[in-house]
Chain A
Amino acid sequence: QKEVEQNSGPLSVPEGAIASLNCTYSDRGSQSFFWYRQYSGKSPELIMSIYSNGDKEDGRFTAQLNKASQYVSLLIRDSQPSDSATYLCAVTDNNDMRFGAGTRLTVKP
């Protein structure tokens, strides 16, 4: 069974802090990795995609991928209350996209 695991949270951080979200996956054949943000009652929206080992930065967001450890993470710097949402990790191989259960993040003012 190909699995994507995330801590369900809730993860609570103060405004301005760094939020660290983690994801592990079981299928070594996975090729592409995505982070989606989902606000309550809304559909997922893409934040970042990462395909090779290392870090990828986009504004306040940094995705980190370590294929040897089968680990992908998302760092949110200078967290804002508007970042409060559920963050979904998604992993694809050549067949389908699989999602983790999501981590609920709360940023407290």
Chain B
Amino acid sequence: KAGVTQTPRYLIKTRGQQVTLSCSPISGHRSVSWYQQTPGQGLQFLFEYFSETQRNKGNFPGRFSGRQFSNSRSEMNVSTLELGDSALYLCASSLALNRYTDTQYFGPGTRLTVL
């Protein structure tokens, strides 16, 4: 079974631009979560989507948004990029059968560099 895929793998943008990242979950997985990983802050939760609805949201500004499509694929968008948005953005998918035992599987990530 194919794993979680993310595109693009690498991205370079300049301040003020916007960016859209894409994530395709493992087949059959209904939940997609997004994380930002930086050396200083570690892995930080951005948001989770389930059945095309945002089910949970982390503590990030409104410049970070996302959506999920009917086939469970998800996109996240960052508008008005800042230098501090440079990070590895990870997508994780899960079956979402049981909230307490749900296991997340990570994609390879998108490395975003903001110049």
Contact = CB atoms under 8 A, between A and B. Distances in A.
18 contacts: A31-B100, A42-B108, A43-B88, A43-B90, A43-B107, A46-B103, A46-B104, A46-B105, A49-B103, A88-B43, A94-B99, A94-B100, A96-B45, A96-B56, A96-B58, A99-B35, A100-B42, A101-B42
Given A43-B107, A43-B109, A32 B101 contact: yes
B100 A102 contact: no
Contacts of A32: 100-102
Interface residues of B, number: 21
Contacts of B33: 97
A95 interface: yes
A44 interface: yes
A87 interface: no
A92 B102 contact: yes
A42 to B, nearest CB: 7
B106 interface: yes
Contacts of B102: 32, 92
Interface residues of A, number: 23
Interface string A80-103: 000000001010101111111110
Given A32-B100, A44-B106, A102 B42 contact: yes
B75 interface: no
Interface string B47-85: 010000000101000000000000000000000000000
Contacts of B106: 36, 43-45
Nearest to A51: B101
A99 B48 contact: no
A53 B76 CA distance: 37
A97 B101 contact: no
B90 A92 contact: no
A15 B68 CA distance: 45
